[in-house]
Amino acid sequence: MKQIGRYEIIRKLGKGGMGSVFKGIVPIIDKVVAIKLLDPFETMLDILGAEKLREIFLYEAQTMAALRHPSIVQVWDYDEDEQGRPFIVMEYLCNNLGDMIGEHFLVEESSRIIQPEKVIDYGQQILVGLSYLHHNGIVHRDIKPFNILVADDDTIKICDFGMALVEGVSFSGPSMMQIGSPYYTPPEQSRDPESVDGRADLFATGVLLYRMLTGKLPGMQSFSLSMVNPLYDREWDDFFSKALSWNPDDRFDSAISMQVALTNLHLNWQAQQKNNQQETLATDQRIKIRSEPVNICGTKAASLFGVNTLFRPHIEITGKLSHGDETIHDHTTSLMWQKGGSQYPVTWKEALHYVEKLNESGFNTTSEWRLPTVNELLSLFTTLTRQGGASGFDPVKNRLWSCDSHGHHERWYVNFDMGYTGNQDMNCFNYIRAVCTI
C-alpha cells in the first residue's frame, strides 16, 4: 500500500483485530504520523458485521479527538480511503511499553524486570492520564503494556480507545465477546463490562506495575513482593493487595489516591538483591569485541550479541575506565567513548551525519569515530545500568543507536533504561555515543 487518502505510506507497523497501523507522511510538510485503518480480521467481521465495526471505529476516533492531555495520544485527522474504509491519523511514537518490557503474544511468558524507579515514574504518569479520563467520564477498559506508548522524552501516552466506556455509553458487541485483555481485565468487567467504573482501569494498572517489577503476572504467583525481593517491604504488599483486589470497593477509590500511594512507597536499597541472574565478568585481560556492522535478525542476532531470550546480555563486563575531559577510555575493551554524546536524540541517518562531523572536526584529536556495534554498547551494560551518572557518562542519554541493521527499515539500539537491546525504525529518535578503538 503506497497511499491512504492523501497520506504517503512508508510501511506497515502492525495489525490487530480491528485494523492495521501504518507509518505515513503528511504531504508537503513531510511530518511522520501513525495511521490506523479499519481493516478487521475476518472473524471480527463475521462476529460484528461491517456496519458495527465502522460504528466502533468512528466511536474511537471521536473519543480520542475530544481529549487533550499530555498523557493521551493525540488524533489529528479522520477520513476514508479510496475503498471507503475509515482511517484515523495520530501522532507517531516509536516506543510502546509492551515491546519495552518484552511481553510476547504468549502473555504468560516472563517479561523483563524493570528497575523500580522507572516503574514508579511510568506508573505515576499512567495514573495521571487515567485521572483525566475518569474526570471526563471515560473508562478505558483495556489498559495493558501495548496500549501505553512512550515518547522520546520518556513521557507516557495512553492509546487505543476502541473499548472505552464514555459516560456509560459504549458499543455493544455479542455477549460472548470479551472487553479488555486477558490477565489485565478485572473480574467485574468480565461479568458485566457495561457497569464498570474507573476502578477497573486501576486494577489493570496494578497488573501492569506488578508485571514490570517481577516479570510475572500476579495471577501466576503470590502478590507478596517482600518475600521475593527484600528491596520491597510490606507496604508494597499492601499496595498491590489493594490495587489487585477482586472487589472494586476494596481497591483505591481514584487514580489520584493510587498515585499518591505509589509515590509514598519506599525501597530498601541496603537489602537489595539482584533481580536477574546474569554473570558479571571482571577482568584485567583485554577483551576483543566485534566492531564491524552487520545486518541480522532473530535468533542469529541473539547469538551474535550474546543475549538471552529477553535480549539482555548473558555475561556483563565490568570495564576498567579512565576519564578524560570529553572521553572515557575502557581499558578492558580498548574502546574510547564520547563522554557526552549527541546533545539531542536523532534519527539513524542523522546519527551517521553526526559521526561524520566528529571526524571532520577531529574531535579529541582523532578522525576514527564511528557508531558502535550492539556488542560494544552492551560492554557498557553494567556501567550504565548499575552506576548511571556515577559512571561519568551522561545519565539522561540511555537509548543509543548502534551501527547494526535489522532488515532494510530498522536498526538495532540499546535501551539502558530498561536494560535490553532491540530494534527500531531508523526514523525513530535515539541518542548517539560515538566510539573508536584505541
Active-site amino acid positions? 142
Please give the grid coordinates belonging to residue 181: 485483555
SS3 435: strand
Residue pair 258/127 in contact by the 8 Å Cβ criterion: yes
Query: Strands, E, within 180-320: which ranges?
Result: 279-282, 315-318
Cα(354)–Cα(331) distance, rounded to whole angstroms? 25
- Give the dihedral sign, CA 116/119/121/124: negative
Phi and psi torsions of 267, nearest 5°: -115, 130
b/e string for 155-188 if b means 16 or more Cβ within 10 A?
Answer: ebbbbbbbbbbbeeebbebeeeeebbbebbbbeb
**Strand ranges of the sheet holding 435-437, from the earlier edge strand across to the other edge:** 321-323, 327-330, 335-338, 435-437
- Amino acid at residue number 15: K
Cα(437)–Cα(368) distance, rounded to whole angstroms? 8
b/e string for 301-334 if b means 16 or more Cβ within 10 A?
Answer: bbeebebeebbbbeebbebebeeeeebbbbebbe
Please give the grid coordinates belonging to residue 331: 581499558
153 half-sphere exposure, CB direction, 13 A CA radius? 5
- Amino acid at residue number 383: T
Please give the grid coordinates belonging to residue 227: 518475600
